[in-house]
Structure 1
Amino acid sequence: MTRSNPHLLLGLILSGALLGGCEQLGIPDFTKSSATAEADGKAIGGACRHAGRAIEDCYNLNPGAPRAAVFAGWREMNDYMAEKNITEVEPKVPPPLPPAAEEKPAPKSKRSADKKEKEPSAPDSEQAEQPHSDAADDTQPPPRKRRHSAE
């Protein structure tokens, strides 16, 4: 008869307990996360179809969702709605703007506001008829050259 090593038995029990608690350590379970993403994608696709949105709009509104799951949900809801003669529900809230359209305009600096006030939108006829005087050039410094910034 062989005698088992108590340290080996204790090590196996301890490692089993540690591996069973991987979720508590923050280690994601791939099968659970992929199943959740699949279910979420189907729900998103079904909701988009029920709201009467095209599949392309659904993709654009939900860029992080897996496309195959979104399409599967959209198609399942389409078949279900056709079978049960369910009409689309018109959304009351408009869809959010795509990320490119949400860009905020650049903050206006005081310098750009002053420039807009000084520049006339159309040349005045009085300014065009008056001859250029040298006295006006002495009071104002020469214009600076502008550097083009890459925005």
Structure 2
Amino acid sequence: MKSPDINNVMEGKEVIKRRLCSKRVLLLLDDVNDASQLDAIMQKREWFGKGSKIIITTQDRGILKVPTLVDGAYELDGMNFNHSLELFSKHAFRRDNPIKQYNSHSDRAAKICGGLPLALEVIGSLLSGKSIEEWDAILKELEKFPQEDVERS
């Protein structure tokens, strides 16, 4: 099947509505931060076949206040500290726990990440293979930013 030539949001909506109205789909919309993004993909559940599932991740709960689209909302907490430290260590040291001389630095890094898996992976990878002095400098910089700034990234 040839891909349609879509030139604007309205044309895209029509293609989605026409092609998917009779199909059961699993639609994952990740990190939606503006209601217009949701509106560009769908306006009515009827655009998708019976039994379709739509999963939306967002940090803005207001986006989920559309009763015709949302059946339920689930708020996820960050990972607990032990799991955070384990995930961080897998990326920083390629093992489940920190190297002994990096214990306190790893604790600092895990706390900075606030239980956010992506932050734990990125910061762990960033620090991997670096000296303790480099860790100190990087962690000092990261501590300047409150957790809310990390969550918004």
- The structure richer in helix per residue is 1
- The structure richer in strand per residue is 2
**Aligning the two structures, in what range does the TM-score lie when normalised by the shorter sequence?**
under 0.3
Name which one, 1 or 2, has greater alpha-carbon Rg: 1
Q: TM-score, normalising length from structure 1?
A: 0.25
